[in-house]
Copies of this chain bind each other. A is one copy, B any other.
Amino acid sequence: MGLTRTRGARSTTDLVAGVLGSDRLALARAITRVENQEADATALLTALYPHSGRAHIIGVTGAPGTGKSTLVTALAQSYRAAGMTVGIVAIDPTSPFTGGALLGDRVRMRALAGDSGVFVRSMATRGSLGGLSKTTGDVVTVMDAAGFDRVIVETVGVGQAEVEIASTAHTTLVVEAPGLGDEVQAIKAGILEIADILVVNKADRPGLDRTLRALEMMLEIEGNGARYVRHHGQLLRVESPVESDEDEATWKVVVMKTVAMGGTGIEELRQRIEAHRTWLMESGEMALREQLRIANTLENIIRAELNRRIAASMPASGLDDLVEAIRRRESDPYAAAAGLLSAV
């Protein structure tokens, strides 16, 4: 088989040409090389980067159990029906033990299989301390360069992931669902402020009213007249009601209700995302978000390189002696770190 013969032997140049020509096999291989940080990953990304910047990047985050994967699948189908192509990066909670992404490409988003206008890639969070953001950004760049109109990045929103998704996406959806526990509710509050659009999925479930009330209370959309608006990437508290909803300078975070499993509310959600994209471009906010995305990318690249240098500068045997001295409390890690750093 030709496919087997050329596997791995394909040159970086061929791979770049393949990605730009929307060759799915080339795309899959390029992503793998980028994800595994293979030798030519930087060369690949450098070649693809000038062709990126056209896709609109949609981040989808939320607590476990809110039905994010189903929502992303329905959203992708809606975009396909509107004639657009969609790349999906699904970031999975991973088992270091099984080694792979747990939910996997196959289990999730089965409904999208066989559609050449959709490309789904699951990524593992494994061993990615601080590196997940870089790898995610890199994979998005590859999909963007491959010409997908929309790239959706899905991640479980607990901990740092939600902050990272906001610095990767143009439009961030925070997904909620009725009837989750109190701790989940608390976590939600932590991710509300990164939302451009709030989605209450599984809106046919009991407890919808309570969830809506809680969200509205948090957003203070109603009540004392105060509300929060996004303005140049900042969430601002507006003490009095905003004069006009037509005001271009602000974006109103609204709550959308969906039942992704049955397709309810998906079309409206897609239109709201597109409205956000239009607002980003007309208000000048898009340029600001792009600047933030690029600054973030730069920082991630530098961080990854410095991590590599730290690892390279630490001979395992020398470190062992140091660690043992600290363990015996003959030294302390702060003095030892200062010594190591002076050598870097």
List the interface of chain A (C-beta within 8 A of B).
Answer: 42, 45-46, 49-50, 53, 63-65, 92-98, 102-103, 125, 127-130, 132-133, 156, 158-161, 163-164, 180-184, 186-187, 189-190, 192-193, 235, 287, 290-291, 294-295, 297-299, 301-303, 305-307, 310, 319-320, 322-324, 326-327, 329, 332-337, 340-341
Contact present for B301 and A42 (CB under 8 Å): no
List, sorted by A's number, 9 A–B pairs whose CB atoms are closer than 8 Å: A50-B332, A64-B184, A94-B190, A103-B186, A129-B130, A158-B159, A298-B323, A301-B337, A302-B310
Contact present for A93 and B158 (CB under 8 Å): yes
- Given A64-B183, A64-B187, A295-B319, A327 and B287 touching (CB < 8 A)? yes
Most buried by B among A53, A130, A189, A294: A294
Contact present for A96 and B193 (CB under 8 Å): yes
Contact present for B327 and A294 (CB under 8 Å): yes
Contact present for B190 and A340 (CB under 8 Å): no
Q: Which residues of B contact A337 (CB under 8 A)?
A: 298, 301-302, 305
- Tell me which of B159, B189, B319, B320 contacts A125 (CB under 8 A): B159
Known A-B contacts: A97-B235, A102-B189, A129-B164. Give 4 more (CB < 8 A): A103-B183, A295-B319, A302-B341, A306-B341
How far apart are A260's CB and chain B's nearest CB, in angstroms? 14
Contact present for B65 and A181 (CB under 8 Å): yes
State A327–B288 Cα separation when bound (angstroms).
10
Q: Which residues of B contact A294 (CB under 8 A)?
A: 323, 326-327, 333
Nearest 8 pairs between A and B by C-beta?
Answer: A65-B181, A301-B337, A49-B332, A159-B159, A97-B193, A158-B158, A130-B130, A64-B183
Q: Which residues of B contact A332 (CB under 8 A)?
A: 45-46, 49-50
Contact present for B102 and A190 (CB under 8 Å): yes
Q: Which residues of B contact A125 (CB under 8 A)?
A: 159-160, 190
How far apart are A298's CB and chain B's nearest CB, in angstroms? 5
Q: Which residues of B contact A132 (CB under 8 A)?
A: 160
